[in-house]
Chains A and B, each alone.
Chain A
Amino acid sequence: MSVRLKINGRWITAERGQTVLEAARANGIEIPTLCDYPGLPSHGSCRMCIVEIEGRANTPTACTTPVDDGMVVETDTAKVRELRQDLLRMLLAEHPAACLFCPENQACEECMVTLRKAGVTTGCHNCPADRQCSLQKIIEDSGLQSIAYPPRYRALRVEKYDPFFDRDYNLCVLCGRCIRVCESLHFTNILTYARRGSQTRVDTSFGRTHLEAGCSFCGACIDACPTGALWEKTRKWYGAPDGEVASVCPFCSLGCEIRLVHKNGSVIGALPGEGLPALCVKGRFGVPELVNHPDRLKDVLHVSAGEAVKSDWNEASRLAAEVLSGCAPDDFALIVSANCSSEDFYVANKFTRQVMRSAPVYLSAAARYRGGGQASARLLALSQPLEALESADLIFCLGLDAQYYQSVVEPRLRQAKERGAKLLTIHAGEHVPGRFADVWLQPQPFSEGEMINDLAEGRDDRGQLGAALHLLSEARKPVLIVGPDYLARLPEAVERLQKAAGAGLVALPAEGNLMGSLRAGIGAAPAGRLPRVLYLIGAALPHDLPGDSFVLIQNTHALQAELPHLFHEGLMLPMAAFSETDGSLVDQSGKMKCYSAAAAPPGEALPGWKILCQIAQALGKPGFDYGCVDDIRAEMAGQAAERPEISSPPEWIAAPGEHDYHGAPLDKWVAGLGDLQPSPQEEGLRVPVA
């Protein structure tokens, strides 16, 4: 039902149930707000959106006043402007104002004399939110020229003890957006209001660190903060970014859409894609630290007699061609990481078949999967997208951590639970679904498979198992959601349970493009002896390499500083990271997702497929003259998808760490270094310290 109301002398139509603010915005009438945030219900705490409404004594807030037929609203009268300014003056009594009213505001950068007149984190243009701050903008728009109330600095200690982001509540205006967004995403919110009155603060329970409090570091609170109170450590002093590029997070198979934020030609951050409420810790904070890491491989290196010498692409291609042309097919193997792009997979496949005529491409990840991933691949073939949870009446989480890993699942579990769906979880240790599940089955570590088998066969109907069985038997639309560990380690048991329960399945492998590699026909190959010439794309170096091996290492990062000493002869070829090239991957539900370059690759680095092409061309092979990924995609489109032969991989393939990206360990993150410790009982299941 619609109503008519008059705002600033203009009659507009609105829907009953809308607020005055919504109606005004829908009609292009701007009313300033601070505590309002997309996706959250009206809060009415900042009072910035006060308006005059005929017949109302005071000035109500537009965000909390429902529209009414015949309502007459004025949003910009002298009275409203004055009150709004006074509210801002009040906020500035508790918020540093040096960025606004300093007499040397404009000249500051030239003179630099006043650089330190305000605390580094609190004042001047050294506020991390400078030019990105909602409060700053509202005050500038309001025309306020000076502070009026005696300021009081809260003198709170800047909280720097957690990884990834700093909290300076001296800059907080208590709009509550961080708190409310935390509450809206997580079952157990970490941030909350503490105390009351002028002592009100944003805090954690008993002032614990976020780590202690169980925060998953999804970063949604930072995105919600209108001021500089919450800010990422890595981009704290970059100022406003130059732009954003839509991309896809390659850190797990979910392939969340992200926006890469760049400045001065570098990626400085990653934000959730449009419409996504949050990312997980790796996607949100890991990208800039990974792609800007000092260990990035930037130069083409020729390793000769254990010594790495700087080389160039021409020389390297020539040398590679020389070695490969004299190499028998069974003396060569190409091993790829499951995090490479689909285009890289395609070109690698073509390289082994047409150039080397050798064994198919090996997948390093296969070493992590039981039986090389045969049962896992069967499960992956059934895998549905996360949207499958929306219609489930029972969700069974199997080995799903959802805290530091794939935490984007939590809001969906929460929505399902609020909708009335039952939630079961099986996990040996503390984990997020365990905080709110109807039943948490807690097996002894490494006996999870037995318990899942018991469930599948309906054995033992007492206690927790009985409760779980009961819920399973009553569910009409159960869905299993399988975390990376169980998918790799217990695929047969999960498969049995899935069949017994007749359940839908959402599989969440750890690798960013495992599905892409399977589609490209890349699995493990039959065991054989360790060949003399190895081409490793993002894959780890096998142990006990014979002295006469020749190794081509194509990677984004130099794996270890001492790496050249592990082999005597070879090449190190710098590869562009996902943020520096175009590419695509296939997510856990089989959906192709494309990303584009947001920055130039460092040094000499080139996209993975391009390096392969250069070598092929140096060998004089035709069909490797792609100009861009679109050329590859066009060629791929003409070919039927392949099903890889899966068998146990040869034992000389080194299993990658669970969270490796192109072979580079993620524990080298600057801000998180050493802070996210795995809990003792679930060694290896947590992020990201190897």
Chain B
Amino acid sequence: MITVIGFDEFSAAGFTGDPGELIPLLQYSQQNDGFISAQSADRIARFLGISAARVYSVASFYAQFRFHKPGKNHVRVCLGTACHVQGGQELSQGIQDILGIHPRETTADGLYDFDEVACLGCCAQAAVVEVNGKIYARMTRDRLRSLLEEHEPA
């Protein structure tokens, strides 16, 4: 498309504008912004020459994409089968109680966002909680508070 201008950033990141790049582009956007905003979805749609509806449709299909601004710390609790058997649900409830938010939400002070994930693949270490990409193994409810406090600013 000749009229497309201002997509240098996408091009520089190696994207060519093929609609097959939609998911990698969404991942790229989310990596930069922390979430998929309506504006970035529109930009991707124009870059790929597809409808904004399709971008939203695809983004909302996959569990990876968020539509809200993330918090400073990312807390994720694994609800894979092994973690479920080892009490993942209690961990999730515990985190919700401590932070006062539901999955896919961010605390009012912007310090934490929280989500449940299908499986982190560390089933033999169940139950696991991930904070900022680091996985904490064999978690129990009584260790949650101290784990979260570790990540609070001094």
Segment 168-195 of A: residues with Cβ below 8 Å from B:
186-195
Contact A436 B49 (CB under 8 A): yes
Instruction: Check A440/B3 contact, CB under 8 A, given A193-B57, A194-B57, A194-B60.
Output: yes
Q: B41, A467: Cβ atoms under 8 Å? A: no
CA distance A206 to B51 in the complex (A): 12
Q: By the criterion CB–CB under 8 Å, are A192 and B57 in contact?
A: yes
Are B3 and A464 touching (Cβ within 8 A)? yes
Q: Roughly how many angstroms separate A195 CA and B90 CA in the complex, as a whole number?
A: 26
Contacts of A188 in B (CB 8 A): 45, 50-53
Closest to B67 in A: A206
The size of the chain B interface, using a CB distance under 8 A, is 19
8 Å CB interface, A191-243 against B: 191-196, 203-206, 208, 213
Q: Does A438 contact B (CB under 8 A)?
A: yes
Interface residues of A in 417-446 (CB under 8 A from B): 436-440
Give the residues in chain A near B41, CB-CB below 8 Å.
205-206
Report the minimal beta-carbon distance from A220 to chain B, rounded to whole angstroms. 15
Q: How far is the CB of A499 from chain B (nearest CB, A)?
A: 25
* Size of the chain A interface, CB-CB below 8 angstroms: 24
Do residues B60 and A189 form an inter-chain contact, with CB atoms below 8 A? no
User: Which residues of chain A come closer than 8 Å to B50, judged between CB atoms?
Assistant: 188
Complex contacts, A195 vs chain B, CB 8 Å? 60-61
The 8 Å CB contact of A439, one of B3, B38, B45, B49, is B3
Give which listed residue, B2, B51, B60, contacts A438 with CB less than 8 A. B2
Tell me whether B56 and A192 are in contact (CB under 8 A): yes
Tell me the complex Cα distance, A190–B2, Å: 24
Chain A proximity of B128: nearest CB distance (Å): 24
Chain A residues with Cβ under 8 A from B55's Cβ?
205
- Please measure, in the bound complex, the distance between the C-alpha atom of A111 and the C-alpha atom of B3, giving whole angstroms: 65
Smallest beta-carbon distance A247→chain B, Å:
33
Contact (Cβ within 8 A) B61 A205: no
State A190–B49 Cα separation when bound (angstroms).
14
Cβ A191 vs Cβ B3 within 8 A: no
Residue of B nearest to A207 (CB): B56
B40 CB to nearest A CB, Å = 11
| Proximity bits, B39-65, A CB within 8 Å = 1, else 0 | 001100100011111111100110000
B interface footprint on A431-468 (CB within 8 Å = 1, 0 otherwise)? 00000111110000000000000000000000010010
Q: Considering the chains assembled together, what is the distance between the CA atoms of A404 and B45 in angstroms?
A: 22
Residues in chain A near residue B52, CB distance under 8 A: 188, 205-206, 213
Closest CB-CB distance, B39 to chain A, in whole Å?
Answer: 10
| CB < 8 Å neighbour of A205 from B2, B3, B49, B56 | B56
**Known interface pairs A205-B38, A205-B51, A206-B41; 14 further A-B residue pairs with C-beta atoms within 8 A, sorted by A's residue number:** A188-B50, A189-B54, A190-B53, A192-B51, A192-B53, A192-B56, A204-B53, A205-B42, A205-B53, A437-B3, A438-B3, A439-B2, A439-B3, A440-B3
Q: What are 19 A-B contacts with C-beta separation under 8 Å?
A: A188-B50, A188-B51, A189-B51, A189-B53, A190-B51, A190-B53, A192-B53, A192-B57, A193-B57, A195-B61, A203-B56, A205-B51, A205-B52, A205-B56, A206-B41, A206-B52, A208-B38, A213-B52, A439-B2
4 closest A-B pairs by CB: A188-B51, A192-B57, A192-B53, A205-B56
Contacts from A to B (Cβ < 8 Å): 186-196, 203-206, 208, 213, 436-440, 464, 467
